[in-house]
Amino acid sequence: MNERIRALFGDRTILCDGAMGTTLYARGVFINRCYDELNLSQADLVRSIHDEYLQAGAEVIETNTFGANSFRLLRYGLQDQVFAINKAGAELARQAVEHHAGKHAGKAFVAGSVGPLGVHLEPLGKTSLEEARVAFAEQIRGLVAGGVDMLAIETIVALNEAEQAILAAKEVAPDLPILAMVNVDDEGNCLDGTSPEIAATRLAAWGADIVGCNCSTGPATILTALEKLAAGTSLPLAAMPNAGMPRAIDGRNIYLCSPEYMASFARKFLKAGAQFIGGCCGTTPNHIRAMRAALRAADAQKVSVQPTAKVEIVSEVVPPPLAQRSKIGQLIHDGAFVTMVEIVPPRGVDASRELDGAAMLASHGIHAINVPDSPRASARMSAQSLCIQIQQKTGIETILHYTCRDRNVLSIQSDLLGASSIGLKNILCLTGDPPKLGNYPDATAVFDVDAIGLVNIVQRLNHGLDIGGNPIGSSTGLTIAVAANPGVPDIENEIRRFAYKVEAGAEYAITQPVFDLRILEAFLKRIEGFRIPIVAGIWPLTSLRNAEFMKNDLRVSVPDSILLRMQQAATPDLARAEGIKIAQEMLAATMPMVQGVQVSAPFGRYPLAIEAIKDVLPKPQSVEELPAAQAITA
């Protein structure tokens, strides 16, 4: 047993308290209040709840500080009171413990509650690991100043966040014991996909003194996870489940697990090896009182439970070299000049026009077809479906655009695993346009991660691991492309995000259409320290209106000189000819600076794309020589 835990608690079973939020809610505090702030404004109420848990038999009470970090308090405008709220929360619990000690035999302890920050951390979110560690340290300083005996890092959803909390605890209070508890799903796995065995091993390696499970869907789920945790560590174990799942009854969320039911599982937790047993959401002093009685009866029969096997942290696999993952990967690796054309999926189920276009483009020597993923948030055939059809029916390789708009991290992993398994090996990682831009503006967006987080997910899958660090058997072998917009107004943010994408694992980038060479040159100069192969976007304009749309709606930099040239084209045919001429000029000027071009085919006019880049194709031909071209000209 960990010596710090032995010094405080010995080897006896320790009963912890139950839910603070549930009891505050039952006392009439509305859920739109900041419960952590009550440490300042309603101290007597908070202290009275601590008193009730102590009277029920709890030996460890947690401070009312679960959400008292700067990220969560920001929602209430209280981000400047992190230290004060945490210090007050620890002092209230300390006062309750000291008051209880004056009336009862035995000592009780105060655990400083540290919950998740409520934001996604890198690699899946925008908050850096360092920012997370700083936020945790700020909270822990307040708890230490208030006099806690230990820290309870609880309801862990993502292990990388737990690591930062533990590191912060080690930095601020290296002598305080740390209890770290994960939140698990119905199958007993952590919510980021990590198995309990691996979670226990990692938490112990980072410096936790006690590991366990809390919250989740109820005691049965926690018991399953607890048994798995025991296989990953020899540290003391903790079990603090919810009182089941809440049910809405007369407008109130009610937890239906009775005190007797929780007490029966307290005995099972003890038998499974738990030393620290308590409750989370829905548990009340009545639940803790019943659990105390059950543990007193069973504690004498407790046997020591040792891990059944040592669990090793799974090591990643080495992905295939870029040149072996796809034809595009080989071309990028070899430094060849790559040509791509974008084909937008149809709005219905008939993809014959798109397939004919792909066949025609393949016959001209185009290397790959880019397939957008519901561009402009429009409802279209899935990009993945069209990619499959194009590859199966024409043989040309595709690049699947994949956005984060419509998917959570579970479906993202499922889609990418599926894409790899059926031979779609090229992924362009995109954040995605918000639904308000499309034809269903009231549709709900997901955005669990952005393009940077998506790159990290693909990179992990390429190394044979899901986002929870669990093995998937082998590498997905995907090539990783990202987007770049050299003409975006906030270029500093674009450069910063591009650097993050490269750091996350991006292997080449495709730009927005280029109409201003000075902007492209400036962008390439800015990314010299972290440059990857760049594929320049080329768009054959079809009209002045098309040029204005590019500039005003798509945020593409279109110089006034280009707009003037399109304006001076007197007829639609002359406008299309001028648009092709501009595209050819952009191609000639960008070729020395980039490693390829992606050409768009406005409104499905695929011959325009061929005409724009015919000078770099292996066997230049006029479109009239091919029957397929006649069938698809606008």
Which positions make up the binding site for Zn(2+)? 215, 280-281
**Residue 459 CA: distances (Å) to CA of 343, 426, 428, 447, 455:** 26, 13, 13, 18, 6
Backbone angles phi, psi at 256, to 5 degrees: -100, -5
Confirm if 470 and 410 have CB atoms less than 8 A apart: no
Alpha carbon distance 133, 440 (integer Å): 40
Q: Which of 150, 143, 172, 17 is nearest to 85 (CA)?
A: 143
Strand pairing of 252-255 and 246-249?
antiparallel
Q: How many CB atoms lie within 10 A of CB 399?
A: 27
Strand pairing of 534-538 and 14-15?
unpaired
Q: Which of 15, 10, 12, 36 is nearest to 24 (CA)?
A: 36
Element housing 342 (H / E): strand 338-342
Written as six digits, the tokens of 217 are 């869907």
Alpha carbon distance 535, 598 (integer Å): 7
Alpha carbon distance 607, 341 (integer Å): 11
Alpha carbon distance 177, 205 (integer Å): 14
Element housing 300 (H / E): none
Identify any residues that bridge with 502 across adjacent strands, giving them in sequence order: none
DSSP annotation of 149 = S
* 3-state SS string for 370-420: EECCCHHHCCCCCHHHHHHHHHHHHCCEEEEEEECCCCCHHHHHHHHHHHH
Fill in the amino acid letter for 502: V
Q: Which residue has the tokens 């990290």?
A: 456
Alpha carbon distance 163, 132 (integer Å): 10
Confirm if 339 and 367 have CB atoms less than 8 A apart: yes
- For the sheet with 237-241, list strands across it: 14-15, 274-277, 237-241, 210-215, 178-182, 150-156, 109-114, 60-62
* 3-state SS string for 469-514: CCECCCCCCCEEEEEECCCCCCHHHHHHHHHHHHHHCCCEEEEEEC
> What's the CA angle centered on 466, arms 460 and 468, to 5 degrees?
110
Alpha carbon distance 436, 452 (integer Å): 22
- CA 584 remoteness from chain centre: 41
Written as six digits, the tokens of 483 are 């987007």
Binding-site residues from annotation: 215, 280-281
Alpha carbon distance 161, 192 (integer Å): 11
DSSP class per residue in 17-30 = ---SHHHHHHTT--
**Helix, strand, coil: what percent of the chain each, to 5?**
45, 15, 35
